[in-house]
Every structure is written in structure tokens, then in C-alpha cells.
Amino acid sequence: MREYRDLVVGADAVVPLLNGRTGRYVNLDNAASTPPLKAVADALDRLMPWYSSVHRGTGYKSRLSTEAFEAARREVGSFLGADPRQDVVVFTKNATEALNKLARRLPVDARRNLVITSRMEHHSNDLPWRATAGTVHVDVDRDGRLDMADLQAKLARHRESVRLVAVTGASNVTGFINPIHDIARLAHEAGALVAVDAAQLAPHRAVDMRPHGAPEHLDFVIIAAHKMYAPYGSGALVGPRALFEQTPPDLVGGGTVALVGDELVDWAAAPDREEAGSPNVPGAVALGRAVQVLGELGMDRVAGHEADLVRYALPRLARIPRLRLYGCSDPGRAEERVGVISFDVDGLHHALVAAILAYEAGVGVRHGCFCAHPYVTRLKRVGARDFERIRRQVLRGDRTHAPGMVRASFGLYNTTEDVDALVEALERISRGDITGDYVFDPAGPSYEPRGFAWNLEEASPLARHLPTAP
Ligand SMILES: Cc1ncc(COP(=O)(O)O)c(C=O)c1O
């Protein structure tokens, strides 16, 4: 475990606590973003002296940056099992941009076609489809698992019109992993393509697009570098080159063209036509290096370690009085999920639990709906009338009752000591052993301890004036 810990930057950070002391920071917010791998930070340090704009520069630095950028593209494609002859890796700024791009670039007939997605999606794999095509949502069962029978029924009902099935590879709320290759087979049988939002899956499990023509082939895969130990502002959309080349790009300008005349434009081949303007070379190189390292570590080992953490955490969390786990709490089924555990503590606002964990235990988690309102609403069994009442409050600026939970999420560098720190802090919270007096802000919703604030400005890397010693 120590071995994995040593791979990331900042794993042993120490942070100020409410009691005036400092404590080891326990980062359990990896589903939002992971820290960088040291190998990634090193690669960027090595790139910087040679950094230059890519593609059209003739100088050595430009050629070297171009090589690094294109090598990153190859690494990403190979990590995901893409076919270099048929697929193209398009760099984006994150998963959301990749999904929006796909929604804009997928040729659909808005009058005829529709897209099937699900009620367990992050908003980034739901709202882009609502904006561009008719959408049908597959439901989830009571625990929050994708309802495969409902998917089959909806595919059968919309066989004539379904163009794409867009599902998450793993949930950012319950961690449930979807049977993406079974879904692909069903989608293909219905004449549709399949897109997998692998933002949560790819950091934790091997993703293999499988050969074109195979029923289980994944047509599109979407990833986010900042969830894969490369937080330098990149993501990727991988899919068939021919599809991108059927229609003009969604964002036009520099780099997207073969030739421009006074009245005509000939578009460049993909991926260039999809990457308007100067690309984020460091971001791409970071992602390329991250997937190299993950590949060398072996995703099966990473998955095994994270499943061990889930197996270790679930029974300990389940024993805490007043704590309710969402999704599946069976440690025997740890392989069926990624290391994301959502919960709340009966009688305490989720924002308060998260604040106490941060200020009193140095444990970093996240709370709220995790950009998955329809899913969290279902998991929390919020009925239509309550939803409407909450909605009126939210629109008035009061988010007190917006459905929410607390989420702890593991990265490969987390250890059983990190789980122990979470469990001990939650045990204290559960028995009311809370030091701070917390003030509530309904607009957040958030809680801050009275009379205490972190001096973040001083600690910021952008602080101009470092505090002078007394
Ligand atoms: C499943 C899933 N999809 C998409 C996204 C959006 O990712 P990004 O922040 O890179 O746009 C997230 C982010 O949490 C996610 O968990």
C-alpha cells in the first residue's frame, strides 16, 4: 500500500484542524479529482523546457512537443483498446466537454432519432442528450442498479428510432459498475451505437473497447484526466474517425481546416478538425503519462486493491449507529463497484457531517447530489410532491432540503488507515462527540465552524506576500 502511496504527489500533506493542531490530510474525494501521479508531474517538468506550440512549428521544440502530444494520443487509445486504424482520440478539456461534443457531433435526425440514457447518470451524460435529441431514460432499481430489463424493453419499444445508448461505466454516487459490453450488445442488436461515460470507470478498471464488428464493441468512450491522476485540464472522447469526418466540426477556427477559400472551407481530417485552436499539450501529455503508469501498474491490481478497501470499509461503516449506506452495503459484492461509498448520518445534515470530517478529522469528502440529481432523488426516495416543494425553496436560494448525501471515494493510493480515520471520525460524529459550533448557510448548503477559518489566501500558491515570521 505504501508503494502506491508513494506514487502520488501530496499523499502525506498535513492540514490545520479546528483544535489548533495539524493532522494528516485524508483525501477521500477521488471521484471528484485525484492528485497527480509523481510520474505525471515529472513528465510535465521534463516537458516544460521543451514546450512549444504543436503541429505547424518547424523548430526542434515544436517538433518535440508535437511528438509528445501525439504519443499521448496513442497511449490513450491503446489504454482503452481503441483501434488505431478506425478510431480517433480527441482531446477535450474534461469529460463534460467530451460528452457535449459527442452530443453535437453524432449525426442524428432530431425528428426521428432518440438517445437512450439512464437515471443513474452524472448530469454530464444526461443534459447534453436532452439538449440535442429526444431522450429516453432507463430506470434504476431500489438500490440504484441499472434496470437491464427496462433497458431491453425501451430498446425494443424504440427500435426504429434509437441512435445511441449512452450509459455510465460506473456510478459516481453508488460506485455500481454497469455491464457495458452486455449493454453494447443489446444496443447493437437494436441498430444503435453505444457510448460509455468512463469518467468513473477508467481510473479503477481496465476498459477495453474490443474490436469493431464485435457485438460487445464500445463505439465511444469518454474519460477525464483529472480523475486519473493527471489533473492538468484534459479529457478525451474516443470514437470512429469516419463518424467525425461525416459532418463539419462543432467548434471551428484555427487547426480545423485543410484549406479555406474566400467562400469555402475544406475541413481537416479527424482528430485535427475536432480540436479547434491551440490544444492543451501539457494536459494531453499528463493524461498520456498517467495511462502509461496505470497500464504498467496493471488495472487488475489497482482494482484488487480498491476492492480490498471497499471490503474493509463497508462492514465498519455499517456498524456505526445512525449511519445509512446507499447502494449496496454487501462487502461480498465489492468487485461489482468502484471505490465510491455514499452515506448519511440520521438526524444530521450531510453538509454538517462533511464539515466536521474536514475541520475535526482532516478527512476530505464531498456532500450533496454529486451532479446526479435524478439518481440521488431516487436513492433518497424523494417523492414528486416533496421534490416540487424543495424546488420552490431552491429557486428562492434555500438549498437546505435539496437531496444530498456524503460521499467517500478511494484512489489507488488510499490505505486501510485512511478508512480507519473516516470510520473513527464518523463514530465520534454519530455519538455526538463534536467539538465545533457550526453555523449553517442555507444557500450552500454548508456549515462553517464559528470563530474559525482556514487562512487559505496565505497558503495559496498564488500568495504574493508570504507571512513574515513573528
Ligand atoms: C460519471 C461522471 N461523468 C462525467 C463527469 C464529469 O466529468 P468532468 O468534471 O471531467 O467534466 C463526472 C464527474 O464527476 C462523473 O463522475
Q: How far apart are CA 295 and CA 302, in angstroms?
A: 10
- pLDDT, tens only, 109-161: 878 899 999 999 999 999 999 988 899 999 999 999 999 999 999 999 999 99
Can you give the pLDDT at residue 57? 85
| pLDDT value of position 107 | 87
For residue 168, give the ligand 1 atom closest to its CA: 1
Please give the pLDDT value at position 464: 79
Residues of the chain with pLDDT under 50: none
Rounded distance from Cα 465 to ligand 1 centre (Å): 35
pLDDT at 55: 86
Instruction: Give the pLDDT confidence score for residue 294 in this predicted structure.
Output: 98
| Cβ of residue 224 lying under 6 Å from some atom of ligand 1 | yes
CB atoms within 10 A of CB 218: 27
Residue of 200, 201, 373 to mutate, ligand 1, most atoms within 8 A of C-beta? 200
Q: What is the DSSP string of 271-333?
A: TGGGS-SS--HHHHHHHHHHHHHHHHH-HHHHHHHHHHHHHHHHHHHHTSTTEEE-S---GGG
Q: What is the DSSP letter of 217?
A: -
**Longest CA–CA separation in the chain, Å:** 74
Q: Which domains does the chain have, with CATH numbers?
A: 2-31+298-459 (3.90.1150.10), 41-296 (3.40.640.10)
Predicted pLDDT at 286? 98
Give the three cell numbers for residue 19: 483544535
Does ligand 1 come within 6 angstroms of the Cβ of 30?
A: no
Kindly give the number of the ligand 1 atom that is closest to the alpha carbon of 96.
11
